[in-house]
């Protein structure tokens, strides 16, 4: 089974405002509510690509109930742990540019932390766990590392989509897939990552430290894949970006779904990029048809040089 874990889910409240003026009364011309949080986005895209997952994490209050209802409507199983307080609402403001305000999320007690670790301990070497998103401030900084240690011991494949300190701490753990964007990769190595060669150079360092598959996304500039004996570059399809929230998560979902269906790595990478762009080109996350339509538009080439 493939599990996704979202420690800090959200309702994503998308607001389209024509010309946003800070400090003024603005009226949105269109709004949307979506169940959000990176792992939940991965579960939703994988469901659309025909792959079953079970969503784990913490939900709370009426906002948490919205998330559970929404997933139920999309036939996605969950084993969320209910906590006190309310699941956060993250505001995504779309105007001439994209502004995001993410809430802090509810407090998670020590007992609830142990409950989640117990769920991980019950997984086996047939299972895959996707840990995605930020670690709420009430959890220990190294909570993901604790999960990684459990997974390594029992042979559960671990996919990690996080950033900052949480990502830094995970490097060195045995990981199946990570997908930093080029800014996150640059932060990890305190270096400049602007070109595909630089992305490949630092991506290879992550591979050498125990990550089986590394995808570095570079927004509209393309994406890089580093694996055992391949390093690939994909041009992203051309289109109008409507809402890039969840585009990175869609890539993780596209790749993980394809691998679970025993597709070759290059095809999994192609599906990752198609899923990311298909999400970027619409308000909600991508559908299977959108992904399939983009697959043929993606040119993949080999990156030869690995110099900075
Ligand atoms: N301008 C664009 N044109 C086409 N595709 C895009 C564009 N911007 C993003 N994408 C798609 O979204 C993917 C992820 O984008 P990005 O590198 O911004 O990741 P990210 O920062 O993790 O995303 P996010 O945090 O917004 O989910 C890209 O690899 C690509 O497939
Ligand atoms: O605050 P975090 O956990 O870093 O990110 C949460 C979030 O911004 O990530 C998803 C998009 O990737 C959204 O659905 C959600 O609002």
What value of ipTM does the predicted structure carry? 0.97
Q: Are residues 208 and 147 in the same domain?
A: no
- Say if ligand 1 is within 6 A of residue 167 CB: no
- By annotation, the residues acting in catalysis are 249
Specify the pLDDT at position 304: 83
Q: Inform me whether the pLDDT recorded for 307 exceeds 60.
A: no
Last residue of a domain, one of 178, 202, 223: 178
Residue 308 confidence class, pLDDT cut points 50, 70, 90: low
Cβ pair 280, 243 in contact under 8 A: yes
Total structural domains within the chain: 2
Both 173 and 186 in one domain: the answer is no
- Which of 146, 178, 210 is a domain's end point? 178
41 lines ligand 2 (CB under 6 A): yes
- Shared domain check, 8 and 157: yes
Please tell me whether the overall predicted TM-score, pTM, comes out greater than 0.80 for this model.
yes
3-state secondary structure of 93: strand
Q: Report whether pLDDT(256) > 90.
A: yes
232 and 308, same domain (yes or no) = yes
CATH number, position 45: 3.40.1190.20
Nearest to residue 90, comparing CAs of 101, 78, 106?
Answer: 101
Question: 305 CA distance to ligand 2 centroid (A)?
Answer: 34
Among 156, 178, 200, where does a domain finish?
178
140 in the same domain as 287:
no
What is the 155 CA–ligand 1 centroid distance (Å)?
31
Q: Is any atom of ligand 1 closer than 6 Å to the C-beta of 277?
A: yes
The reply to whether 143 and 14 lie within a common domain is yes
Average pLDDT in the 156-180 region? 95
Q: Are 186 and 139 in the same domain?
A: no
Residues 6+ apart with CB under 8 A from 63: 11, 86, 87, 88, 89
Q: Are residues 20 and 95 in the same domain?
A: yes
For 222, the domain range is: 179-308
Range 228-237 average pLDDT: 95
Is 41 in the same domain as 159?
yes
Question: Phi and psi of 248, rounded to 5°?
Answer: -65, -40
Contact 248 CB / ligand 1 (< 6 Å): yes
Using most ligand atoms within 8 A of CB, pick from 238, 277, 300 the residue to mutate for ligand 1.
Answer: 277
User: Which ligand 1 atom minimizes the distance to the CA of 234?
Assistant: 29
Distance (angstroms) between ligand 2 centre and the Cα of 37 equals 5
Element (H, E) at 214: strand 211-217
- Indicate if ligand 1 lies below 6 Å from the C-beta of 242: no
Which protein residue has the closest C-alpha to ligand 1 atom 21?
A: 181
pLDDT tens-digit series, residues 88-145 = 999 999 999 889 999 999 999 999 999 999 999 999 999 999 999 999 999 998 999 9
């Amino acid at each position: 089974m493939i599990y996704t874990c979202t420690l800090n889910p959200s309702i994503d409240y998308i607001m389209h405002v024509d010309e946003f003026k800070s400090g003024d009364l603005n009226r949105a011309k269109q709004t949307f509510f979506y169940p959000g949080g990176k792992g939940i986005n991965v579960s939703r895209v994988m469901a659309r690509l025909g792959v079953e997952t079970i969503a784990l994490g913490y939900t709370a209050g009426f906002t948490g109930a919205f998330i559970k209802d929404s997933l139920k409507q999309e036939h996605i199983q969950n084993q969320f742990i209910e906590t006190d307080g309310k699941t956060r609402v993250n505001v995504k403001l779309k105007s001439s540019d994209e502004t995001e305000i993410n809430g802090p999320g509810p407090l998670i007690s020590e007992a609830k932390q142990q409950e989640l670790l117990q769920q991980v301990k019950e997984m086996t070497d047939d299972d895959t766990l996707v840990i995605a998103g930020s670690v709420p401030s009430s959890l220990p900084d190294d909570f993901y590392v604790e999960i990684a240690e459990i997974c390594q011991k029992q042979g559960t494949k671990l996919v990690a989509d996080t950033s900052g300190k949480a990502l830094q701490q995970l490097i060195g753990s045995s990981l199946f897939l990570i997908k930093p964007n080029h800014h996150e990769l640059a932060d990890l190595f305190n270096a400049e990552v602007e070109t595909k060669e630089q992305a490949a150079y630092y991506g290879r360092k992550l591979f050498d430290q125990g990550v089986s598959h590394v995808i570095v996304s570079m927004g509209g500039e393309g994406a890089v894949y580093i694996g055992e004996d391949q390093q690939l570059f994909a041009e992203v399809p051309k289109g109008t970006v409507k809402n890039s929230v969840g585009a990175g998560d869609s890539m993780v979902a596209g790749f993980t779904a394809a691998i679970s269906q025993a597709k070759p790595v290059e095809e999994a990478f192609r599906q990752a990029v198609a899923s990311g762009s298909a999400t970027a080109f619409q308000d909600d996350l991508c559908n299977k048809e959108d992904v399939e339509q983009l697959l043929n538009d993606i040119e993949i080439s080999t990156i030869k040089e690995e110099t900075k």
